[in-house]
């Protein structure tokens, strides 16, 4: 019994004390005060040399308060560094607003969710009957998905947006449970997309942004969608197109040749533009979504909704952010 008893004593008392003394350094260090201090601290510590730099929090820009606060004439506006989730400016970002042709950003995403850029589309008479003649599309001409995306995103062609919606919607409405026309099926997919992303303060009724009575979004929802659009590899083509000043296309059946020109004025004004989209209806007024590179590898989303002069409001906000905020120097 005695050897067994000694083994038990060693296992439950001596061995833990030895382990504890090893972590503290020496047995002499095991005073009551030191033990209390020991157990109040983490058992494991990482040296500064071994700590991952990825865990270090990036230094955020500092407000220069000698620069007055920005006063926006738009109904809604924001400037957001989505990588750091840092807002430089916000105004009425939860207000529901018609977003006009900014809708085509969502249309482009739905298109790329279901079809390939090289697919061919026959432009229908119904598509070219839509308001506006941007893109100058012709009935019966055959263009690729990429060509029509360029027309919709650069020239903001309503005809191109509807041609895309008809093509993709036909695939969606082929589902026996769809019970919708191709365009309605496409719009349903647009709303489902936002719902899946948790952007529930938005509703779409058409793929071009023309129907602005029951179609609306918020600056918050739209900014979060733009972040999603930017960070998802499936949509790289959108940004490749949005940075182009013009895009040339010729119909596959030689019906017409096109030179789609961007409506984004900031491509000529700033060298750090990633891409942007304009929008306007009489009800929505002027809208602008712009993504630009900022200091220290940031990407800043600028959104202007409901402005009499969207270009000037966007420019004023960009210049204010540059003056009113100071970024730390990266080492």
Active site residue 104: yes
Selecting among 72, 156, 251, 262, the annotated active-site residue is 156
pLDDT reported for residue 52: 39
> What integer pLDDT is reported at residue 178 of this predicted model?
62
Question: Which member of 76, 91, 104, 251 is catalytic?
Answer: 104
Question: What is 62-326's CATH topology?
Answer: Beta-lactamase (3.40.710)
156 is catalytic: yes
pLDDT of residue 87: 97
Q: What is the pLDDT of residue 136?
A: 83
Structural domain boundaries of the chain?
Answer: 62-326
Residues of the chain with confidence (pLDDT) below 70: 1-58, 133, 176-178, 331
Q: In 10 A of CB 187, how many CB atoms?
A: 25
How many whole angstroms separate alpha carbon 277 and alpha carbon 105?
Answer: 8
User: Residue 174: what pLDDT?
Assistant: 77
Determine the pLDDT at residue 130.
Answer: 83
**pLDDT value, residue 131:** 77
Identify whether the C-beta of residue 207 lies closer than 8 Å to the C-beta of residue 107.
Answer: yes
Nearest to 39 by CA among 48, 47, 30: 30
- The pLDDT tens digits of the residues spanning 97-145 come to 999 999 999 999 999 999 999 999 999 999 998 877 677 899 999 999 9
Predicted confidence at residue 173, as pLDDT, reads 86
Q: In the Cβ-directed half-sphere of 202, how many Cα atoms lie within 13 Å?
A: 32
State the pTM of this model: 0.81
Distances (CA, A) of 148 to 238, 260, 274: 12, 10, 20
């Amino acid at each position: 019994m005695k050897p067994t008893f000694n083994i038990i004593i060693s296992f439950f008392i001596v061995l833990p004390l030895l382990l504890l003394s090893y972590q503290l350094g020496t047995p002499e260090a095991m005073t009551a005060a030191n033990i209390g201090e020991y157990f109040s601290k983490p058992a494991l510590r990482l040296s500064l040399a071994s700590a991952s730099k990825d865990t270090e929090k990036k230094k955020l820009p500092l407000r220069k308060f000698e620069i007055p606060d920005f006063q926006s004439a738009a109904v809604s506006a924001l400037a957001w560094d989505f990588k750091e989730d840092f807002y430089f400016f916000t105004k009425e970002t939860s207000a529901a607003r018609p977003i006009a042709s900014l809708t085509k950003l969502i249309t482009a995403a739905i298109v790329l969710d279901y079809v390939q850029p090289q697919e061919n589309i026959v432009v229908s008479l119904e598509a070219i009957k839509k308001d506006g003649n941007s893109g100058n599309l012709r009935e019966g001409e055959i263009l690729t998905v990429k060509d029509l995306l360029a027309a919709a995103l650069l020239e903001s062609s309503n005809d191109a947006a509807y041609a895309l919606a008809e093509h993709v919607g036909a695939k969606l409405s082929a589902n026996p449970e769809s019970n919708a026309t191709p365009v309605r099926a496409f719009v349903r997919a647009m709303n489902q997309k936002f719902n899946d992303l948790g952007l529930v303060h938005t509703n779409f009724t058409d793929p071009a942004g023309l129907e602005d009575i029951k179609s609306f979004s918020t600056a918050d929802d739209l900014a979060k969608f733009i972040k999603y659009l930017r960070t998802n590899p499936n949509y790289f083509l959108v940004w490749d197109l949005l940075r182009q000043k013009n895009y040339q296309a010729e119909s596959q059946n030689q019906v017409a040749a096109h030179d789609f020109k961007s409506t984004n004025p900031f491509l000529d004004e700033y060298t750090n533009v990633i891409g942007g989209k304009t929008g306007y209806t009489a009800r929505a007024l002027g809208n602008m979504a712009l993504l630009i590179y900022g200091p220290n590898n940031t990407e800043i989303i600028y959104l202007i909704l409901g402005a009499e002069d969207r270009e000037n409001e966007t420019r004023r906000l960009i210049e204010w952010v540059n003056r009113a905020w100071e970024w730390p120097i990266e080492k």
